[in-house]
Structure 1
Amino acid sequence: MAFTYGFFNSLNGDRKYTAEQLSSIFDGLIADGVFDSIGDILATVPGSGMQVIVKSGKAWFNRTWSYNDAPMPLTIPAADVTLKRYDAVVLEVNTETATRANSIKIVSGNPGSDPSKPTLTNTEKVHQHALAYILVNAGATSINAGNIENVIGKTECPFVTGLPGPADISDLFEQWEYDFDVWFANLKAQLTDNVAANLQAQIDELKESAYKTYTGTTLPASSLGSNGDTYVQVLG
């Protein structure tokens, strides 16, 4: 456990900071994901033959940023002759000392009659984040749009969330207020109906009780009007 801080000017090398310390200033400000307003959000589209294209975009994962400024072609490994499989287009963050790099690559799954999507690496040093899944049919020689499932903006690869700055929520507040007024009006209407029904039931009960007290019999249902008024005169 240690107390850290930053940043201050270095004098003769007495203040040195790691990349992790620099990136940590964003902790609590933005959450991992793909930026939804930069480029083409790293979307995967068909290329020629067994290629797919990862479009432009920027992402922030595991305290690192990745930026692709041009279409990136990736080649899907050859299809199985008789079985289909799922491949994943992933953004990999590798902090191994020998690597220390991010990349976009293909991770192939296992062929099968009912294949599962590949399990992605998620260790202390290597993290793979799915951008898309590709269904590679048996004997396929090309990939079409129907074979591609982009997962950007979904749970597996969400959009970056953070603090975009001050926002005017006047319209949103007005909508909330309107929705509340509608809800409250409906509630009042329901309560009014229930209260009236309960009150009428209690009145009928009292009339029934009074009639039995004087006559020893039950008040006939026909003696009540549609609004609960009693047509029988009880004599004292």
Structure 2
Amino acid sequence: MAEFGGFFNSVNGDRKYKSEDFANYFKTFIGNGVNPSTDSLRVIKVSNTQIKILPGSACINGYLYLNTAELTKTITSTVAKVNRVILRLDIVNRILSIVIVEGTATAPPTLTRNSSVYELSLAKITIKNNTVTVEDERGQASLCGYMAFLGKDDLQSMWNLFNQQWGAQKDIWQNWFNNMQGQSIRGIYIQKTVPTTHKVGDIWIELS
């Protein structure tokens, strides 16, 4: 289908929508990532065998994830590894959930991102000498990032361009103004000191 418009009330079943229709709508203006509040889906070490994920929310490709209570996960392996706590969208199985994915002794697992599965990394878990350390990865845009309204970068680019062009025009005006000092029939000087080349009838506006 080349065109899509919605959403409309159904009359005798002539307007039916799928979940992906709503997801496609939301992802036009909400980017992937977790809610930007400080503790949203933050991963905390409880012990060397347990972690907990704080309540929070996220959006992946227009699909909502919401966790309303602390979620506890068990670390089953004591072997030296670098794992990740991942928020995974699985389109085929219709699941959006948090899982622990194991890596190797030297590197964390690579995130899966294709048309069926899309993953965000909430944290990296390093197991070494039977000790667990947790590193927050929510703020890293390439791994997770924070959900935000799309189009903000476009507005910033427009603002930067405006400032650049305005700065150039201001320089042109200032250069003209400086060159015109003392060249009119009645000179007008706007400066802190007494003009050295003034003549009778000129105007001096003293800057403080």
TM-score tier after normalising by the smaller chain length = 0.5 to 0.7
Distance 1:68 1:36 in 2: 14
What does residue 5 of structure 2 align with? 5
What does residue 32 of structure 1 align with? 32
**Unmatched 5+ residue regions in structure 1?**
164-175, 189-236
Distance 2:111 2:45 in 1: 22
Distance 1:135 1:28 in 2: 36
Letter in 1 for 2:45: P
Question: How far off its partner does 1:18 sit?
Answer: 0.8
Q: Deviations over 1:57-115 (max 9, x none)?
A: 100012201011111111112212xxx2100000000011xx2011101000123xxx0
What does residue 152 of structure 1 align with? 138
Counterpart check, 1:127 vs 2:127: no
What does residue 200 of structure 1 align with? none
Letter in 1 for 2:104: N
Once the two structures are aligned, what percentage of the paired residues are identical? 33
TM-score scaled to structure 2, two decimals? 0.68
TM-score scaled to structure 1, two decimals? 0.60
What does residue 55 of structure 2 align with? 56
Counterpart check, 1:88 vs 2:74: no
Question: How far off its partner does 1:117 sit?
Answer: 1.3
Q: Is the 8 A contact 2:122 2:137 kept in 1?
A: yes
- Counterpart of 2:24 in 1: which secondary structure? helix
Question: How far off its partner does 1:34 sit?
Answer: 0.8
What does residue 224 of structure 1 align with? none
Distance 1:120 1:40 in 2: 22
Q: Is the 8 A contact 2:86 2:122 kept in 1?
A: yes
**Unmatched 5+ residue regions in structure 2?**
151-162, 176-208
Question: Please, what is the CA RMSD of the aligned residues?
Answer: 2.7
More strand by share: 2
Distance 1:67 1:124 in 2: 22
- Counterpart of 1:73 in 2: which secondary structure? strand
Moved over 6 A (4+): none
How many residue pairs are counted as aligned between the two chains?
Answer: 158
